Amino acid sequence: MLAADTNVWARAYLNDDTAQAAKARSALAQAGSAGGVFVPLIVLAELAWVLRGKWERERVLNAIESLLQTRGVVVESPALAWKALKATRKGAVGFADHLISEISFASGAGEMITFDKAFARLPRVRRLQ
CATH of residue 79: 3.40.50
pLDDT of residue 92: 86
* 12, 25 Cβ separation under 8 angstroms: yes
pLDDT of residue 82: 98
pLDDT of residue 24: 97
Range of the domain at 78: 2-127
pLDDT, tens only, 1-35: 999 999 999 999 999 999 999 999 999 999 999 99
Give mean pLDDT, residues 58-84. 97
CA-wise closest residue to 5 among 56, 54, 47, 34:
47
pLDDT of residue 71: 93
pLDDT of residue 34: 94
- Calculate helix-pair angle for 6-14, 41-52, nearest 10 degrees: 40
CA-wise closest residue to 12 among 2, 22, 4, 3:
22
Helix intervals (H) in 3-129: 6-14, 18-34, 41-52, 57-69, 78-90, 95-106
What amino acid occupies position 106?
A
This prediction's pTM: 0.92
Give mean pLDDT, residues 109-122. 95
* 22, 58 Cβ separation under 8 angstroms: no
Q: Which whole-number Å values give the CA distances from 119 to 34, 69, 114, in the listed order?
A: 39, 27, 7
Rg (CA), the chain: 15
